[in-house]
Amino acid sequence: MHEHKFETQLIDEAATGSGGRLPYEVLMAQRETLLRQSYIPSSDKASNPILFFSQSRQLLHANPAALRDLARLSIDAAVGLRLGEIFGCEHKMSAKPGEIYQCQDCNSMPSLRTALAGRQSTETRYLIMHPEDRPTRAIFRVSSVPMTAGDLHLAMLIFQKMEETEAL
């Protein structure tokens, strides 16, 4: 059994019926399919953070820049997490089934939903960064791109940091 640092929250989510998560073994099979795609080596070399999500909104892959600058987790710990969990959002588990919580500070979920719906977009998003010393608000240009890997339909999010605005 694979466990995340959010394991208690994942169990709570399953208990409230707001889950819809794929089992870890299925995610790993999808990840293997994704990693065989020709665009992965280029994304891994990119200086901007890039995240790849499954249709269940679970992380399948993140490039080194995303792991270092956004997630602050190893890829093994990050696979299977959702966007709010990756960013350490305090509201990550507050949505009821079918409800989308859109925080005024960290509003990148619409970008993910756009790509999963098969549409591309580039929008300015405000995200809370959590470096070791104290949280900082930053402005990013987020490009959401629908992708395929074999018969999988995925979302790729590319984060271009515009500026840090303030420490929180």
Task: Read off the pLDDT of residues 128-166 as tens digits, 9 standing for 90 and up.
Answer: 665 556 667 778 889 999 999 999 999 999 999 887 666
Report pTM. Answer: 0.79
153 contacts: CB under 8 Å, gap ≥ 6: 55, 116, 118, 146, 147
Residue 78 lies in a domain: yes
- Residue 159 CA to residue 149 CA, distance in Å, equals 21
Rg (C-alpha) for the chain, rounded Å, is 15
Residue 26 lies in a domain: yes
Q: What is the number of other CB atoms lying within 10 angstroms of the CB of residue 12?
A: 13
DSSP 68: I
Detail the DSSP E strand segments found in the chain: 50-53, 59-62, 121-129, 136-149, 152-167
Residue 152 lies in a domain: yes
State how many domains the chain has: 1
Provide the CATH number for the domain around residue 19: 3.30.450
- Which residue range forms the structural domain that includes residue 22? 7-101+144-160
Residue 134 lies in a domain: no
Percent of the chain with pLDDT over 90: 39
Residue 107 lies in a domain: no
